[in-house]
Chains A and B, each alone.
Chain A
């Protein structure tokens, strides 16, 4: 299906922000704290530079094929078979990200809100919402994100900022005690938190308006998300300290559980945070489902992506339940991270080089 509407740079920025801000809000500090310890906020900051570079490469690549999506120019660059294989890999990566998103939200909702409800209900509820939005086309998908960004995300940021009340500065010291290497390693760990814009621009580029400013808006989106991630990672670290952050299941929420201003509603901020976060998580999921379905439809050379999006629901529901326990979810998360890293800093530059050579030759 061709999205009938042209996407403005601003809308692209919204998509970028929402695709990035997903479950990483909850688990980002843990995976990074394992390696970067008290410098985890630095690692998160550094990772944004990596994603910006990768996004820039993806944008340059997409600009070489202004009328085609990634699925088509993979075929052009690598031939039908290899190109399709690469596209399938990309689709698999996107679906894995979506499944991981639902799985972690299932865990979070089950722990903090609905401890007795069967977890399948939560998964189906999420998928139903996402498919309802994705079915209606790109216009509504973008609008619902913008609408929620205005209300839910702003409430979320407000709640996040409340965390500043409770941080203890000694958790940030000593700065760079073990040199720069742990920070670098840590920044690679949080790739999947930022992953999104470098995949989506390849699919969206033909439908973008005013392409000259798209990179600027995309980078602005990355910048906004970086601020949010650094805040969250820094606050979690500041409240819990590096050891606890590394060992807790979902450190962000646990950190906010500690915040308390007696005799106000700010006694139970973790509960509110997770409730608002449901909306934030939904905006991310709807992007992955919509563009996953879109990519799959392009891959199969189908005009209409709607049935594909519906068919993705059982696939995702299966993928969500595939890892048996939380430990394996963490392992899968690591694999997704490495896959995303390979794509963003390995495959994309390679493709760009191919495109260059093709033009030169």
Chain B
């Protein structure tokens, strides 16, 4: 009896499962339907073109309804004895090309007659024998055509053809290539990326004449269709890394990304305050990163490109390091680490030492600090906290102010807050020195993005210093060290070259905290697992030595 019962239950369960699966299908269908309804304005144009010119133009008018910068120009193509039309965006199209190479050619009757069109077919005749622009492609779906028109190309529609021609006529006003302002270098090249993707790719191509420099384009943003280019060296970059970058870019589903902040959509640990993607405006730095085996990402609309993976040590490098003799460069780079350390800890150290361990300083110094603090009404922590707040406000004001009234900030900040606060006895002079040193130390970091977490972490460190003295400061620093060692960037540990994976990776340390002469850094960073590890071929090396 029990046997039949079990069978019965099994059958019922299977039925239930089927029902559930069916319900699942239905709900998926409903979700798809709802999505397609919601995205009516997003992908509405994904359908084949019609053979009738009027019909195509009508749908285009509907797609672009409400926009006045779209131009439709219909004409009689005498060379084909057919009606034709061009569709383009006003202001993004090179009208000279449009006039001379498309409209003029089509409207002029041809002496050759219809022989060509019998030989090639209509589409090929237009593409190969009539239109004389450099790049003419055919498209048979409305979406592709619309996308290209929006990018500044011209859509050419000919009656009776079930396809359209996309003629490259893009011509947009771009900012001139200028020296990047946020990444100043003394001996580096003077060109910087612009907001125009095409220009940026040129800046890279013109540095490296190698077919293995791969530039693969894609779009991100369902609505904005922002152009993105993934750039890497085939044969150097680890293909796993390239795959990872492309996978992450494919996953971006936001509708309109902000180009300068697009890295926030694919970087690791979005909650961490440390940047795990390096942004640079310098093509030379970009190419240097590619040559190490990294992958670069260029985004249309911003001069800041992304480099993946990025490690902690990358933020302390500067192009100048490689353009100078190695020893001064190595010392300068080491100084940057020291500077970063003090930018992070200086106020906390001051608080800890003055309020917990005055014995850590030599006696005369302790006395000097002690006497200058006489009459100051606040405890050190409150005093340091106020100064830190003022410093942050002044930094922000300095950035936001129009350049013309910028000097006003320095007058008010330097004279009033520094000098007057000390004279009034509100702040002790040593603290003013500490605060200004901290500010300058932050400015001297080569990366603005690395400066931000350091600025932010100063305050918790000060709180720890006020509570637990030097033990608290050390505690905070170790906690930061743990956090850094947890972080990863595109599969690579964030502390990668500083914490070599194995003894084979020890050579990476040659270019991290310090630096060796260029001829002695013959390997690419091993932590990136490049396909070709050697950068300086051995024969050339010995040849140099023989010279």
Knowing A10-B500, A143-B499, A267-B362, the reply to whether A129 touches B478 (Cβ < 8 A) is yes
Q: Is the CB of A275 within 8 A of B359?
A: no
Q: How far is the CB of A284 from chain B (nearest CB, A)?
A: 12
Alpha-carbon distance A278/B470, docked complex (angstroms): 10
Knowing A113-B470, A122-B471, A268-B361, the reply to whether A147 touches B485 (Cβ < 8 A) is yes
Alpha-carbon distance A265/B362, docked complex (angstroms): 6
Alpha-carbon distance A139/B357, docked complex (angstroms): 36
Q: Of B469, B477, B498, B502, which is within 8 A of A8 by CB?
A: B502
Q: Of B364, B468, B479, B498, which is within 8 A of A146 by CB?
A: B498
Alpha-carbon distance A9/B478, docked complex (angstroms): 25
- Cross-chain pair count, CB within 8 angstroms: 101
Alpha-carbon distance A142/B496, docked complex (angstroms): 12
Task: List which B16-50 residues lie within 8 A (CB) of chain A.
Answer: none
Q: Is the CB of A209 within 8 A of B502?
A: yes
Q: Is the CB of B471 within 8 A of A109?
A: yes
A residues in contact with B503, CB < 8 Å: 8-10, 217
Which of B364, B478, B479, B486 has the most CB atoms of chain A within a 10 A radius of its CB?
B478
Interface of A is mostly: helix
Q: Is A133 an interface residue (CB 8 A)?
A: yes
Q: Is B495 an interface residue (CB 8 A)?
A: yes
Q: Is B417 an interface residue (CB 8 A)?
A: no
Chain B interface category by residue count: 20 to 34
CB 8 Å contact bits of B493-531 with A (1 = contact, 0 = none): 101001111110010000001000000000000000000
Q: Of B362, B363, B498, which is within 8 A of A147 by CB?
A: B498
Chain A interface category by residue count: 35 or more
Q: Is the CB of B356 within 8 A of A114?
A: yes
CB 8 Å contact bits of A315-344 with B (1 = contact, 0 = none): 000000000000000000000000000000
Q: Is the CB of B468 within 8 A of A264?
A: no
Q: Is the CB of B485 within 8 A of A143?
A: yes
Q: How far is the CB of A124 from chain B (nearest CB, A)?
A: 11
Query: Which residue of chain B has the shortest Cβ distance to A213 in the bound complex?
Result: B503
Q: Of A140, A209, A271, which is within 8 A of B359 by CB?
A: A271
Q: Of B360, B363, B469, B500, which is within 8 A of A114 by CB?
A: B469
Query: Apart from A10-B502, A265-B362, what are 16 other A-B pairs with CB-CB below 8 Å?
Result: A8-B503, A114-B356, A114-B468, A117-B468, A122-B471, A129-B478, A136-B485, A144-B478, A144-B482, A146-B498, A147-B485, A150-B513, A268-B362, A272-B360, A278-B475, A279-B481
> Which 5 pairs, one residue from A and one from B, show the smallest C-beta to C-beta distance?
A8-B502, A143-B485, A146-B499, A144-B485, A278-B474
A–B Cβ pairs within 8 angstroms, 27 of them: A8-B502, A9-B503, A10-B500, A10-B501, A113-B357, A113-B469, A114-B469, A125-B468, A125-B471, A132-B479, A139-B485, A143-B493, A144-B478, A144-B485, A147-B481, A147-B498, A148-B478, A263-B362, A263-B364, A268-B359, A271-B357, A271-B470, A275-B471, A278-B474, A279-B477, A279-B478, A282-B478
A-binding residues in B (CB < 8 A): 356-357, 359-364, 468-471, 474-475, 477-479, 481-482, 484-486, 493, 495, 498-503, 506, 513
